[in-house]
Structure 1
């Protein structure tokens, strides 16, 4: 499988090879089983803590948050954004990944967002910004008043990296993200995304000024090469600008199993979230 960089390599790939370069589901044979177990665990977790679910931060149907406030309103809060290439999945399916940090005394907030093609990526980015605005202004009324650590997986990793500069955010943990959008226009993903030149230029974290806040960038060592390349390149860009935050390779993890270490209080990604916040304070 080829990678999208350097560009001359990307240019030699067939359409099928370009599609495969970003097809995580195809790359992980048991991805459907992993997703089914995730969905069941998330439903059970939400059923145990139903007090602050489906809280609206905007008027659209998917502009809602699931909130899991800690006993201490001043505790840190992980804001976890789901993935699905901006066109699949929902916040409700990812509640299980709140369990690790919730058990460690953190609050967790999971924002939803309108999916493509109903929304353009520009609109999706704006919705996450609106969710962060809501958490800053209205979070304390729901028991969330501590520092926000923005995180997300896959497309959510992109959205987390993009919003690191939001004034409400103290630090970030981007997991298996896409930080250069240009190659996606040459793949099956663009049928729904319909990316424009302006969106690629203004929404790709690798093309934007470096935000000087702590950001941990995680990837699985068994991910598709395109995502490994993006993670390493984004970290190198930030390191070159002396921006704080480690590169976190998760040994043996693929695009779907990487999140398991967020579900346990002592998991690698849960520890990375605590560490990156410590760097910010």
Structure 2
């Protein structure tokens, strides 16, 4: 039975409820830096897709195909509560799709409070369109974690911020631990930074918008995540399924908010297999 929430900030706090949670950012950064170094010329770092300082993306090309070609393009949008991190923390998560011949793009975006969530949504749409132009004529799959899960889910809502030609190339969208309903976040202390208001919550919450019905939208979350994050994924899958979307919910046993994404670094992991469209 669901419990009444009295401490909303704690309900959405991850690090303090994860063993050694504070060590994860440094571990991500080290693994990502080693991965970029190993990729050499197959890693194109800091490609600009817009005029703002953080409108940069990293693009990783697969080893065994000619330069600039790929079987598909996977775009990973990072989390961090729309307030933290950049693509340099996540490079190693490209390993899984790369092993299958897919290029992987990882865009950055302007962080709150310098941008509102609606503005970040528009930046990610521009990043996806730019990456799709760099790797043309192949299927595109979207995935993202936490706040990034929200952003990729928002791409497959009506109205979509994506250009029609880019939207037509989408073959799959996989939100991981996504924040699907912005309304509860207005209660949090962090909303002094995010500045979500009722109008933005209505316009930018995936569960309050109609999903695309013409592509798979599997939803993924760790079984040991905070109850509120589990609730977001459940309602996203449930509501969109009820609206006719091709969606499902995978609850990965034993995984928490910080390690649920690790499967992307493994070519044979079910999470990687769920994203690529072979």
Q: TM-score, normalised by structure 2?
A: 0.89
User: How far has the Cα of 1:32 moved from its partner?
Assistant: 2.2
User: What is aligned with 1:6?
Assistant: none
Q: Is the 8 A contact 2:210 2:243 kept in 1?
A: no
Q: Which runs of 4+ in 1 moved over 4 A?
A: none
SS at match of 2:45: coil
User: What is aligned with 2:138?
Assistant: 146
Unmatched tracts of structure 2, length 5 or more: none
Q: Is the 8 A contact 1:221 1:253 kept in 2?
A: yes
Q: Does 1:174 align with 2:164?
A: no
2:47 to 52, 55, 59: 55
User: What is aligned with 1:28?
Assistant: 18
SS at match of 1:245: strand
User: What is aligned with 2:234?
Assistant: 232
User: What is aligned with 1:106?
Assistant: 102
User: What is aligned with 2:219?
Assistant: 217
From the two aligned structures, give the one with the greater helix fraction.
Answer: 1
Q: Does 1:46 align with 2:36?
A: yes
Deviations 1:72-106 (A, max 9, x none): 51411110000000000111111111111112221
* Pairs within 5 Å for 1:1-281: 9-10=4-5, 13=6, 17-51=7-41, 52-70=44-62, 71=65, 73-137=69-133, 139-140=134-135, 145-164=137-156, 165=160, 166=162, 167=167, 168-212=169-213, 213-274=215-276, 277=277
1:77, 1:53 → 2: CA distance? 16
Unmatched tracts of structure 1, length 5 or more: 4-8
1:188, 1:86 → 2: CA distance? 14
2:80, 2:151 → 1: CA distance? 12
2:40, 2:228 → 1: CA distance? 38
SS at match of 1:124: helix
Q: Is the 8 A contact 1:85 1:189 kept in 2?
A: no
User: How far has the Cα of 1:273 moved from its partner?
Assistant: 0.9
From the two aligned structures, give the one with the greater strand fraction.
Answer: 2
Aligned residues: 262
1:170, 1:188 → 2: CA distance? 37
User: How far has the Cα of 1:119 moved from its partner?
Assistant: 0.8
Q: Is the 8 A contact 1:75 1:145 kept in 2?
A: no
Q: TM-score, normalised by structure 1?
A: 0.88
Q: Is the 8 A contact 2:210 2:240 kept in 1?
A: no
Q: Is the 8 A contact 2:73 2:132 kept in 1?
A: no
